[in-house]
Amino acid sequence: MSKPQPIAAANWKCNGTQESLTQLVEVFNGHKIDHDVQCVVAPTFVHIPLVQAKLRNPKFVVSAENAIAKSGAFTGEVSMPILKDLKINWVILGHSERRTYYGETNEIVAQKTLDAYKQGFYVIACIGETLQQREAGQTAKVVLTQTQAILKLLPKEAWSKIVLAYEPVWAIGTGKVATPEQAQEVHAILRKYLKEKLGDEIASKLRILYGGSVTGQNAATLYKKPDINGFLVGGASLKPEFLQIIDATK
């Protein structure tokens, strides 16, 4: 079966200055992308208007890196309605840094995914095991439990707007990329499970991204694997190298 439209997503995390990001966006603008790919760039909240104003490459959309469901008395947060008002339609949820440093549990991530779906967002929902969990042979159990929490809350029709990002925690920002075989193995487990729960049609259209030390060098080999539908990229997305990663999804 042919692959669904790939996604190359840049997670800039808490990085950048107005000058450095303007320069990078200009590099993205100047790159001709001649295949069908959805490129996504997620800056900090405060940089969103700058990136929206500068980004002209039609293959790109701007995403948030996180959001809470409602506006109100939540000092220091940014809500989905505020993002919608800024014309943001994509959000990354459940990144391992949010799970590790900000206490986001599987249930919180699932609830936020449902809230985002209800408010019209495309969601890149992140899952992945720690090194300790992998070494204990728990990888499949961990990623399926994370996915199941989302599955439990979401109506079936929501899945056309959900993207799963498998990001082994031990590979994020470490330079230790999963081998194509390791990544494919987990992606295939996820797709099989979702096929059982949601049916063939939805599961085969679902984009499952790999994330964790993806570079311009390793992206093409990873993308050759049948169940890898693109990438969620941290470090390399802050460099012109991100364009090589986009091109690797051809």
Q: Which of 48, 149, 209, 214 binds ligand PEP (CB under 6 A)?
A: 214
Concerning whether 167 is annotated as a catalytic residue, the answer is yes
Q: Find the catalytic residue in 65, 97, 167, 187.
A: 167
CA distances from 211 to 6, 29, 103, 199, 246 (A): 14, 23, 21, 25, 13
Q: How far is CA 50 from the centre of its chain?
A: 21
Site string for ligand PEP, 124-163 (x = CB under 6 A): ----------------------------------------
110 by Cβ neighbours in 10 Å (0-12 / 13-18 / 19+) ranks as buried
Identity of residue 170: W
Q: Is 235 in the site for ligand PEP (CB under 6 A)?
A: yes
Closest CB to ligand PEP among 212 and 230?
212
79 and 107 Cβ atoms separated by less than 8 Å: no
Question: 59 vs 95, which CB is nearer to ligand PEP?
Answer: 95
**Binding pattern to ligand PEP, positions 92-131, x when CB under 6 A?**
----------------------------------------
Catalytic residue among 95, 97, 104, 187: 95
Please give the C-alpha separations between residue 197 and each of 40, 123, 228, in angstroms, as whole numbers: 28, 19, 20
* Side chain identity at residue 10, one-letter code: A
What's the min distance (Å) between Cβ of 212 and ligand PEP?
A: 5
Which residue intervals of 11-105 are DSSP H helices?
18-29, 48-54, 80-85, 96-101
Q: Which of 16, 212, 216, 230 binds ligand PEP (CB under 6 A)?
A: 212
User: Does residue 172 bind ligand PEP (CB under 6 A)?
Assistant: yes
Site residues, ligand PEP (CB under 6 A): 11, 167, 172-173, 211-214, 232-236
